[in-house]
Structure 1
Amino acid sequence: SGRVDPVTAARIGKVLGVDALILSTLTTLNVAEVGGISVGPLTVKGVKAEVIITGRVVDATTAEIKDSFEARGEEIEASIKVSDLQGLSFGTTAFNKSVVGKCIREAVENFARNIISNPDRLMTHQIELRGKVVKIVGSKLIVDIGSRSGVRERMTGKLIRMVEVEELQQYVSVPIGEVQVYSVNPDTCILEVLWAEEAPMEGDYVDLISLK
């Protein structure tokens, strides 16, 4: 409807205590008579309905639009006319069983499925967890942060080496590979190296990304 913009959504999100809100808009609703519908050996006329719903994921803290997507629904019903749909009230059983009602339901289901299949789009805040490699056992790295710090299995991150730059008189963080959490303990975790330009060493660091 356009009544709730991203700024208003952010205010609502703060009141509700959530990280993100989803704003949806019914952008397209087309209903038209069509021909060439095959029903067994016959070809008849009917009605085709098309619905498009667009959605935006809004950060409840900053009002920033983090992601957008759309969902479609399409239904065809034979042997009816557009005039047959006149007088149907939205939300009634008759409307829900109509070609328009079925089309809207399909679009809404696709909309929800789109969100469920990619929940990370709702996680708007990234927190970087830095840990130190304290031991290397075979191909696994033992790091000094664990579940108490927010580490979870399957998280990924960068393998970092601190390189001293004499000209700058300081150390610089240089990414040399990518790692993934293999297992987690309260205060430690075990990582596996996905790839690395150089062999990992004790004293290297890892930066893991946590989405909240």
Structure 2
Amino acid sequence: MVALHRSSLSLIALAALLMISPSLAQTTAPSSPGLVPLQARPKVRIAVLNFDFSNIGLTGAVYSFTDSAGPSKAVSTLLTNLLVKDGTYVVVERSRIDAVLAEQNLGQAGRIEPTTAAQVGRILGVDAVVIGSVTEFGLEQKKGGVNILGFGSQKETQIARVQLAARIVSTTTGEILSVAEAKGEATQVDESISVGGYGSTAQGSNASDRLLSTAAQQALEEVKTKFVAEADKLAALPPVVPLIETLVAHVAGPEITFNKGGTDGLRPGMILQVERVSGEIRDPATGKVLTRKTTPLGRVQLVQVQPNFSVGKVLRGQGFKVGDVAKAVQ
């Protein structure tokens, strides 16, 4: 009787556990035949494009802080660094962005519209793109002083002001998801004493550079804080399907290895369409490929993604070979 009583209690406890957590019996079952259960979604991937320089308030020389490309590139680089240090998002490297902009002939285009930014973002395989404008980037100088019988003092004040307007654009829809406007200001006062009209101050391009950098940093901290607060909103977006092609690098039965991975926006659970190129049509004048003839071979779902390669399981199809082309379809 004691054994029977204990058995009954065990059955009751098991039934109660299943009633409380019915999902426990389903955690290993895939949602659809042949599909691998999706892993938790990784961090949102973003790219910061060069800000356009729409300001007319830059006074004096172009300081070293602005670099040869003007303040827009310097500001974009600073924002990229701040977001990387924060760690909320995965931020694409500037070199990859510059390469894609060059391929799309957008390197010197200036202002990039949201629809164009979304297209660039899909090529980069990111969920959202940050674009913006430098609306003020100026240095104001004020001088004053006194002179009595050849002895005098001078005061020189420099005020750096930076104002920015930034937007987050969804690469899936081209919609502007968030807007941030911010200002930064930095001041430096230098005094000098002159005798008989001779004197000196410590002013120079380095001081101006530091002031502009400080003002820009203040404004960018505001932008970063605003955009980090939007992380949950961005995480709710549907995952972007990257506009990239990858090649089959290895075939081992139902396991296929591809030569691109997370760096290009591929993620576990994505499904790739694998095709074999049977011919190319080239422009006779430039030699550029106009279109290709391909034969569909099947579909593969990614189950492991590393930065530079990924591994998938065949869902359907056969005859895959090294060198076959694949692209994400969902």
TM-score, L = length of structure 1? 0.44
Which of the pair is proportionally richer in strand? 1
